[in-house]
A and B are shown apart, each in its own frame.
Chain A
Amino acid sequence: MIKELILYPDERINIASADVRHFDDELFTLINDMKDTIEFHHADGLAAIQVAIPLSLVVAKDSDGEWHEFINPRILRVKGKATSIETSLYLPHIEEEIPRHEHINFIYQDRNGEQHSMQAHGEFGFMLQRKFDYTFGGTFANKLDRKSKKRVENRLSINGSNGEFNASSNISKREYFKSVISKLLFFEGIFLFTPLFNISKETMQSLYSYSIFATIASLILIVGYLVYAKYEASRVISCTGCQVVSFTAVAIKYFVITIILFTGSYFLLNTA
């Protein structure tokens, strides 16, 4: 059965795949489906995550047309640096130069769970490196620098796939507090420059009213941030010490900025 591919900007591609633990019919069916999907797309290989299954499994076809099934692959040794020009079904119409290794030694399990080792080089080796990377989360875009990533994003959006290599779902909700505070304070900061221009007293006074509002709102949000961050830290028993340290530092930073901006507004904008 041909499986549906996940395409950019579907963030599931970033999920690090779990090791295959059950070598059963379900796995064999998945392998067959992946072969069908590869044939259908005239591709040379697929990682299971490309068909939305987070398992460490790669199915590939070598230049002789022979099928290979690599379960839980691990590259142990690499030799030589090379650059390969690569495409990916996940990133339609994108071609990029990616740094790879000329030669790899790796181990993997077969469909019976037996461990084997193998060597690969050249194009087949590059393809396997790309596919094995998928099983640990992420595409070849991870190997690009920030600028090239942006360029690829832009090209994809021209082609109609809007998005970014961003896993926003992974970001804590407390970031929203920070984002709102930053925006409130940003405008307050901008307004501090208005006395440089010829602006009526009434306008200045209403800008000052905004400053008062922004200051009060920021202070409330900082408290909200602290309370929420504390709640979030207690939700999972993790290194609470590290988390308390980091969010307290953030709260202090915003508090200091709020106070400085308000002091500025009080002296520069308050005409009453």
Chain B
Amino acid sequence: MARLVIMGGGVAGHTAASFARKWLGKEHEVVVVTPNSQWNWIPSNIWVGVGGMKKKEVIFPLAPVYKKVGIDYRQAKAVSINPEGKDGSDDAFITIEYTGQDKEGQSEELTYDYLINSTGPKLNFGATEGLGIGTEMGTHTVSVCTADHAEHANHELQACIAKMRAGERQTFLIGTGHGMCTCQGAAFEYIFNIEHTLKAEGVRDMADIIFITNESFLGDFGMGGIHFSMGGYATSSKVFAESLYAERGMDWILGAHVNKVEEGKVTYESLDGEIDEQEFDFAMLIPPFAGVGIKAYAKDGSDITDTIFAPNGFMKVDANYNAGAYENWKPSDWPRTLQNQDYKNIFAAGIAFAPPHTISKPMSSPNGTPINPTPPRTGMPSAMMGKAVAGSICDMIKGAPEPTHTASMAEMGAACVASAGKGLFSGTAAAMTVYPIIPDFEKYPGTGRDLNGTTGELGLAAHWIKHILHFGFLWKAKLKPGWTLIPE
């Protein structure tokens, strides 16, 4: 009998748990440790953030789903890992602290044979002065990172709409709240939904909408840009994004590291070293991500957190962390099996693994402040990683000496569906795919991307894709009949 413990129940963890449960015999245990009682389909939070959807439409309780398929569910957060066991026992274990199930605050040691770290990000609001303290969002801005944040964002948005109705002009600032953020796609999608909502409410002419981002050009998306064919015309994501913004009368601020947030005002440093300010009435600024801060201890109790985790708190896996300067980066730097190299029974998936370096060109201001998007690791790639890691572990439980499945972002494409508006006929959207996520300059000289693998779709059709994805993925996540047929 083996026990697989999965820390985190987001896209990667939930996918890994579902497949592991399906592939492993009943004699083996699958345990999910997650502090949340609800599962959240994060991409649809954007719609919650503009009042197009209710919070309850994007979440569902995990306990009944896990009970149905026989996954041991602990509503708790992981605090530390002891991969070598402790005095008197060689059994590896993690320490968890309950956040629910009537055991709030209680600690417990949970032994494991295999461990998946899919804890996702810590929303590091504290990294920017005034944006928040630690993982707690401040009061000056809103966020759409969780369903609760999105609900609050909509509440604030409605207040602004009321003010505009009363004749008060409002400035909306949407974007990244730090120079090292990822997830520009979410901010991109949110700003279009804000614009769409304001138009629908008839107050668009009372609003100034501004995008602020750490990208050095519009449409970088943390992937160094996308290039695709749309309506028969070859378009780069920069040309495409700029025309979308210009058409809607929205401005943008590029290469910005927001270093201070105050009531109604942000201060930011640009890539050219200039310090500037921007006022706002409503601001949605995405916080930078960090690892959740799990500690690791050796058998003798000494702290080995630095061995297992990178300084930013993400878990080290089979990536090349010594790739050096930008010109030496290769797709092979990126992890394939996602296995920790010191402890071979530990894996990481989704945002929780430490990337070897960024994808976009690393840049910094003359003052030495790094300002560039960090690699996106969301949605589909996370699910692919979760599935691959579950596959490897299942085979290893059955006797395989090495991981048997791989999920390298250098061999994976990404799709980005940015949709505005939620109505069946009133919305519009842009769907883009890019292959591979990590540019391979040797295989595809020039852009590093296979142009045959990149496509774009604009308009109502893409909008429907987003709808179908919403219902499809929630169906899959609830493990309803036929869930395995729905692709990642």
Residues on A facing B (Cβ under 8 Å): 11, 14-19, 21-22, 54, 72, 74-77, 105, 107, 115, 117, 133, 136-138, 142, 165-172, 236-246, 249
Cross-chain contact A241 with B469 (CB below 8 angstroms): yes
Known: A241-B472, A241-B488, A245-B469. Is A22-B327 also a contact (CB below 8 A)? yes
Set A15, A107, A115, A166: member contacting B446, Cβ < 8 A: A15
Contact A115 B366, beta carbon cutoff 8 Å: yes
- Knowing A107-B271, A136-B225 touch, does A244 contact B441 (C-beta < 8 A)? no
The binding surface of chain B is classed by DSSP as: mixed
B401: interface (CB < 8 Å): no
Contact B239 A136 (CB under 8 A): yes
CB closest chain-A residue, reference B434: A238
Provide 19 A-B residue pairs closer than 8 Å at the C-beta atoms, listed in order of the A residue. A17-B447, A18-B441, A18-B446, A74-B271, A75-B217, A76-B272, A136-B239, A137-B236, A166-B234, A167-B232, A170-B452, A171-B229, A236-B450, A236-B453, A241-B380, A241-B473, A245-B468, A246-B461, A249-B464
Q: Return A163 CB to nearest CB of chain B, in Å.
A: 13
In the complex, what residues of B have CB within 8 A of residue A167's CB? 229, 232-234
* CB-contacts of B268-283 with A (<8 A): 270-273
A246 proximity list for chain B (CB < 8 A): 431, 457, 461, 465
Q: Contact at A15–B413, with CB atoms within 8 Å? A: no
Q: How far is the CB of B267 from chain A (nearest CB, A)?
A: 16
Which B residues are CB-close (under 8 A) to A136? 217, 225, 236, 238-239
Please state if B238 and A170 are interface contacts (CB–CB under 8 Å). no
Residue of A14, A74, A246 with most chain B CB atoms under a 10 A cut-off: A74
Q: Give Cα A137–Cα B242 distance, bound, in whole angstroms.
A: 13
Interface: B399 (CB within 8 A): no
Q: Mark B418-448, 1 if CB is under 8 A from A, else 0.
A: 0000000000000101011001010001111
What chain B residues lie within 8 Å of A21 (beta carbons)? 326-327, 441
Determine how close the nearest CB of chain A comes to the CB of B336; give it in whole angstroms: 13
Q: Which residue of B lies closest to A233 (CB)?
A: B487
Complex CA–CA separation, A18 to B224 (angstroms):
9
Closest to A166 in B: B232
Q: Which residues of B contact A (CB under 8 A)?
A: 216-217, 224-225, 227-229, 232-236, 238-239, 253-255, 270-273, 326-327, 361, 363-364, 366, 379-380, 384, 411-415, 417, 431, 433, 435-436, 439, 441, 445-448, 450-455, 457, 461, 464-465, 468-469, 472-473, 486-488
B413 partner residues in chain A, CB cutoff 8 A: 236-239
Question: Which residues of chain B have C-beta atoms less than 8 A from A115's C-beta?
Answer: 363-364, 366
**Cβ of A16 and Cβ of B486 under 8 Å apart?**
no
Question: How long is the Cα–Cα vector from A236 to B437 in the complex, in angstroms?
Answer: 11
- Residues in A with CB closer than 8 Å to B454 are 170
Q: A117–B363 Cα gap in the complex (Å)?
A: 13
| Contact in complex: A54, B446 (CB < 8 Å) | yes
Please indicate the chain A residues that have their CB under 8 angstroms from the CB of B465 in the complex: 242, 245-246
- Chain B residues lying within 8 Å of A168, measured Cβ to Cβ, are 232
Bound: A269/B272 CA distance, A: 72
Inter-chain contact A242/B236, CB cutoff 8 Å:
no
A167-B234, A241-B486 are known contacts; what are 18 more A-B pairs with Cβ within 8 Å?
A: A15-B446, A16-B225, A16-B236, A16-B447, A17-B446, A18-B439, A77-B270, A107-B216, A107-B255, A117-B366, A137-B234, A138-B236, A165-B233, A170-B451, A172-B452, A236-B436, A237-B413, A238-B380
CB-based contact B431/A242 at 8 Å: yes
Query: Are A239 and B232 in contact (CB-based, < 8 A)?
Result: no
Q: B468 — which chain A residues lie within 8 A by C-beta?
A: 245
Q: How far is the CA of A16 from the CA of B238 in the complex (A)?
A: 10
Q: Which residue of A lies closest to B486 (CB)?
A: A241
Nearest to A250 among chain B residues (CB) is: B461
Of listed A16, A133, A170, A249, residue having the most chain B CB within 10 A: A16
In-complex Cβ contact of B411 among A169, A237, A241 (8 A): A237
Decide yes or no: A19 and B361 within 8 Å by CB, A170-B234, A242-B433 being known contacts: yes
Residues of B within 8 A of A117 (CB): 271-273, 366
Contact A138 B255 (CB under 8 A): no
For B472, give the chain A residue with the smallest CB separation: A241
> Which 9 pairs between the two chains have the least Cβ-Cβ distance?
A238-B413, A239-B415, A167-B234, A54-B446, A117-B272, A170-B229, A14-B234, A137-B236, A240-B487
Verify B235–A76 contact, CB threshold 8 A. no
Given A18-B447, A107-B271, A136-B238, the answer on whether A76 and B254 have CB atoms closer than 8 Å is: yes
Inter-chain CA distance A237–B405, complex, in Å, is 14
**Within the complex, what minimum Cβ distance (angstroms) separates B462 from chain A?**
8
> Contact at B255–A74, with CB atoms within 8 Å?
yes
CA distance A256 to B224 in the complex (A): 41
Interface contact B445-A239, CB-CB below 8 Å: no
Residues on the A chain within 8 Å of B235, using CB:
137-138, 142
In angstroms, how far is the closest chain B Cβ from the Cβ of A247? 11
Would A238 and B415 be within 8 Å (CB), given that A107-B271, A136-B238, A170-B234 are in contact? yes
Q: Which of B238, B255, B451 contacts A76 (CB 8 A)?
A: B255
Q: Which residue of B lies closest to A138 (CB)?
A: B239
B469 touching A15, Cβ below 8 Å:
no
Contact partner of B233 among A15, A105, A166, CB < 8 A?
A: A166
Docked complex Cα distance between A18 and B447 (Å): 5
User: Which A residues are CB-close (under 8 A) to B228?
Assistant: 170
Q: Which residues of A contact B447 (CB under 8 A)?
A: 15-18, 54
CA distance A257 to B417 in the complex (A): 28
B residues less than 8 Å from A76 (CB atoms): 216, 254-255, 270-272
Given the complex, which residues of B lie within 8 Å of A240, measured CB to CB?
487-488
Contact partners of B450 in chain A: CB under 8 A: 236
Whether B414 and A18, one on each chain, are in contact in the complex, defined by CB atoms closer than 8 angstroms, is no
A133–B243 Cα distance when bound, in Å, is 13
A14-B234, A136-B239, A242-B465 as given contacts; A72 in contact with B229, CB under 8 Å: no
CB distance from B368 to the nearest CB of A (A): 11
The CA-CA distance from A225 to B159 in the complex, in Å, is 50
Q: Nearest Cβ distance between residue A40 and chain B, in whole angstroms?
A: 25
B487 in contact with A244 (CB, 8 Å): yes
Q: How far is the CA of A245 from the CA of B475 in the complex (A)?
A: 15
Shortest CB-to-CB span from A128 to chain B, Å, is 14
- Which A residues are CB-close (under 8 A) to B361? 19, 72
Residues of A within 8 A of B412 (CB): 237-238
The smallest beta-carbon distance between A85 and chain B, in angstroms, is: 20
CB-CB under 8 A from A243, the residues of chain B are 415, 433
- In the bound assembly, the distance between CA atoms of A16 and B234 in angstroms comes to 10
